[in-house]
Amino acid sequence: MKNTYILLLFLFLAVSAMAQTGTIQGKITGANAPVAFASIGLAGTGKGATSETDGSFLLEQVPAGTYNLQVRAVGFAPYETSVTVTADQTVWVAAVLRQQASRLREVVVTGTMRETFTLESPVPVEVFTSQYFQKNPTPALFEALAQVNGVQPQINCNVCGTGDIHINGMEGAYTMVLIDGMPLVSALSTVYGLSGIPNSMIERVEVVKGPASTLYGSEAMAGLINVITKSPVKAPLASADVFYTSHRELNADVGLSRRWGKTSTLLSTNYYRFQDQRDVNHDNFTDMPLQHRISVFNKWGFQRKENRLASLAARYYYEDRFGGELQWTPAYRGGDSIYGESVYTRRYELIGTYQLPVQEHLVLSYSYNDHHQNSAYGNTSYIGTQRVFFGQLIWNKELNQRHQLVAGATYRHTYYDDNTPATEWQKQGKVENEPVTTRLPGIFVQDELKLSTATTLLAGLRYDYNTEHGSILTPRLNLKWAANEDQILRMSLGKGYRIVNLFTEDHAALTGARDVIIRNELKPEESYNATLNYQHYLNLPQGYLNLEGSAFYTYFTNKIVADFLSNNYQIIYDNLSGHAVSRGVALNAEMAIAAPFRVHAGLTLMEVYQVQQPEGKQLQERVPQLHAPALSGTFTASYNLQAAGLMLDYTGTFSSPMYLPVQEKDFRPAKSPWFTLQHLQLTKTFGNGMELYGGVKNIFNFMPRHPLMRPFDPFDKQVEVNNPNNYSFDTEYNYAPLQGRRTFMGLRFTLADRKKNSGN
């Protein structure tokens, strides 16, 4: 009988407990339309649901009480509201979400060396996903970056097509390119390494404009581009992207991923082939260099206790590149009868990250790359080898909710050898080759303090010791003020520096039949930068508008300048006796109207020049920077016909006149004309992850005129014959790709079902 009473008591308590529950029901809408697949949860509980296609949701058997209901959906700002549940009652919630640019909530790591939202970062960081670059498909990251406002992929040679990345008008040597935070593309690989980064391995690209030397060291004076590769865990089971153009370009990206228990791997390969000897301007030279390259990227991820980081990646890259006279064959390589620029590049890379198994957050990152280049520029041979080891240990410490400390130690070891005077040394009256070894240890500290809910202060200091140049200090200061999520003001102050490796970075020093003159011993360059960034988000009835504006000013001392103008047969390098300036404003706008239409546009207005005092003159003169347009812009417009499974993308860039490296009495204009490169693409989405796309590149068929000087005499054998203006063969007169209108067709396939990828 006693047991019966106990049983009845438990039944009574159970029924009473069930009676003390209620229900939360509601609908999620945004931009006058239901929001499907939104995540709804009650803070502090395990209760949650997902909205249906009509935006409705239901949470049953919620214990009576007051809760904080949270709603999260991609493309919308987070939504929170207080809900009180009473017994046997249904509470109705009508949540209206505010549409928001998705990149405002993206996680970034570049600006502060720790994960944070773009919205919360005191350093302005621009984020571009691989889907953004697919709106104008390109075979490599180098060409894709043309769609980023203020970033200019600059072709430096009209014969072999080499180039670098300019940020805010500053030459490519001042831009640091990172892969997963590691400085793999620099020095020798700056010229050709950028072409070897396939879009298939990219998860996103983070761009920071302005000096970042405090965290990343030398070369980040203009800014940095951090390529974040895909995670093996999140990558699709299989993917492929193949396209072919009417100019007979073939590009193929193939990716495979696999998971075995706590280990996952991603294999990504890229193959590019272009063998069409086009000569539209009839100068007997290839308009575009012939290329044949392959890149293989393999990344491994390891699941560890407490979600500690562990990854290892390797990449192999090979390219055979040629540009020159149409009758050239490999038999003429290095000779002086038929001109050709032939470059063989072989490169290995290793990248690793390991979080130490200790209570503190300590992460060890390391990289190694081996770059070998065998080049012939006419009858000038350049054979170079560079090996770089880089390691860093980062300590990330959250002192409290308002105070974040990041400190680290780095070491960079560089081995460089070539067949130029850069590695020649006088020993007992004899000239001998001696490879250059440079060691660069450094330490840095960064303190991020949240002064209030609206204000965040970030201060940093870095110390490096270079075996050739001694001690170098680089400070930084960043201030962020945000009254709310819709208006953010950021201010940045910083110092940058760069150690120069002239022959490894400047392709002009090796091609074009000019002699290289180094007037004095070159000193490290220094820069001082100030940037003011303002971001304003506007919620529209049928979408949103995100506006961003930046004003920047950079002052250079000891800037190394290349003088192309004083002598047609020489390139004269020297530290600038005066100073150089890069200043301007950049504007970005991202707008979405209703669901189908989205626009992303940018405009950069800048002035880049150097001030110097010529020999024998009392007054200083201002010399404009070459290849730095005063006005440039980008735009991307997309229209989604969802019912038909079609996406129309219209992308383009434009540029105002820029100064060019002309010769004395040059018949070619000293400034380029206004020009625009515009592209159109239509994508059809089928089921099962299949996409078919096609379109037109360079719709208006723009190509520069007279890119080569005296192409009929590339070895300058007849410069004294019928040459009253004393012209010399030159390849540096360039401001746009020498590739006209072309059509393309491509196919993408993604198999994302990870259930079949368990490996068990």
d(CA 21, CA 717): 94
Query: How high is the pLDDT of residue 602?
Result: 95
Query: How high is the pLDDT of residue 296?
Result: 93
| Mean of per-residue pLDDT scores for the chain | 83
Query: How high is the pLDDT of residue 756?
Result: 41
Place of tokens 């890069």: 582
d(CA 58, CA 90): 10
Find, among 380, 140, 280, the residue nearest to 707 by Cα.
280
Check residues 423 and 139 and name the one with the higher pLDDT: 139
Amino acid at residue number 713: D
- Lowest-confidence segment of 43-52, 203-212, 333-342, 517-526 by average pLDDT: 517-526
Find, among 579, 573, 582, 590, the residue nearest to 518 by Cα.
573
Asked whether residue 576 carries a pLDDT value surpassing 70, the answer given is no
Query: How high is the pLDDT of residue 644?
Result: 85
Find, among 576, 573, 603, the residue nearest to 589 by Cα.
603
Q: With cut-offs at 50, 70 and 90, classify the pLDDT of residue 720.
A: confident
Asked whether residue 160 carries a pLDDT value surpassing 70, the answer given is yes
d(CA 412, CA 439): 6
Mean pLDDT of 694-719: 93
The tokens describing 194, both together, are 């950028």
Q: With cut-offs at 50, 70 and 90, classify the pLDDT of residue 29.
A: confident
Check residues 113 and 705 and name the one with the higher pLDDT: 705
Query: How high is the pLDDT of residue 671?
Result: 94
The dihedral of CA 713, 715, 717, 719: what is its sign?
positive
- Lowest-confidence segment of 184-198, 322-336, 351-365, 403-417 by average pLDDT: 184-198
Query: How high is the pLDDT of residue 14?
Result: 46
Extract long-range pairs of 561-565: CB within 8 Å, 24+ residues apart: 561/610, 561/612, 562/506, 562/508, 564/508, 564/514, 564/626, 564/661, 564/732, 565/661, 565/662, 565/663, 565/664
The winner for highest mean pLDDT among 508-512, 577-581, 717-721 is 717-721
Start-end ranges of CATH 2.40.170.20 in the chain? Answer: 214-757
d(CA 697, CA 679): 4
Query: How high is the pLDDT of residue 98?
Result: 74
Query: How high is the pLDDT of residue 571?
Result: 62
Asked whether residue 291 carries a pLDDT value surpassing 60, the answer given is yes
- Lowest-confidence segment of 59-63, 247-251, 297-301, 668-672 by average pLDDT: 59-63
User: Domain 214-757 maps to which CATH number in 3.40.50.300, 3.40.1190.20, 3.30.830.10, 2.40.170.20?
Assistant: 2.40.170.20
- Lowest-confidence segment of 49-63, 98-112, 680-694, 726-740 by average pLDDT: 98-112
The answer to whether the CB of 543 falls within 8 A of the CB of 549 is: no
The answer to whether the CB of 173 falls within 8 A of the CB of 163 is: no
d(CA 532, CA 521): 36
Q: With cut-offs at 50, 70 and 90, classify the pLDDT of residue 623.
A: confident
Asked whether residue 565 carries a pLDDT value surpassing 80, the answer given is no
d(CA 191, CA 185): 9
d(CA 538, CA 536): 7
Start-end ranges of CATH 2.60.40.10 in the chain? Answer: 2-97
Query: How high is the pLDDT of residue 578?
Result: 73
d(CA 481, CA 488): 6
What's the burial of 311, exposed, middle or buried (CB within 10 Å: 0-12/13-18/19+)?
A: buried
Mean pLDDT of 126-146: 88
Residues contacting residue 580 through CB under 8 Å, at least 6 positions apart: 555, 556, 559, 561, 608, 609, 610, 611, 625
The winner for highest mean pLDDT among 462-471, 523-532, 657-666 is 657-666
Query: How high is the pLDDT of residue 354?
Result: 94
Domain at 2-97: CATH architecture: Sandwich (2.60)
Start-end ranges of CATH 2.170.130.10 in the chain? Answer: 102-106+109-213
Mean pLDDT of 667-696: 93
Give the tens place of pLDDT for each residue, 442-500: 999 999 999 988 899 999 898 988 877 778 888 889 999 988 878 899 999 888 777 66
- Lowest-confidence segment of 104-118, 190-204, 506-520, 610-624 by average pLDDT: 506-520
Q: Compute the chain's Rg from CA coordinates.
A: 29
Give the tens place of pLDDT for each residue, 175-206: 788 888 887 766 566 656 666 677 777 888 88
Find, among 668, 672, 664, 661, the residue nearest to 727 by Cα.
664
CB count in 10 Å sphere of residue 692: 14
Asked whether residue 309 carries a pLDDT value surpassing 60, the answer given is yes
Asked whether residue 508 carries a pLDDT value surpassing 60, the answer given is no
* Superfamily of structural domain 102-106+109-213: TonB-dependent receptor, plug domain (2.170.130.10)
- Lowest-confidence segment of 261-275, 455-469, 515-529, 586-600 by average pLDDT: 515-529
Query: How high is the pLDDT of residue 106?
Result: 60
Asked whether residue 727 carries a pLDDT value surpassing 80, the answer given is yes
- Lowest-confidence segment of 54-58, 308-312, 477-481, 598-602 by average pLDDT: 54-58
Coil, strand or helix at 505: helix
Coil, strand or helix at 40: strand
Check residues 430 and 146 and name the one with the higher pLDDT: 146
**How far apart are the two ends of the chain, measured CA to CA in Å?**
53
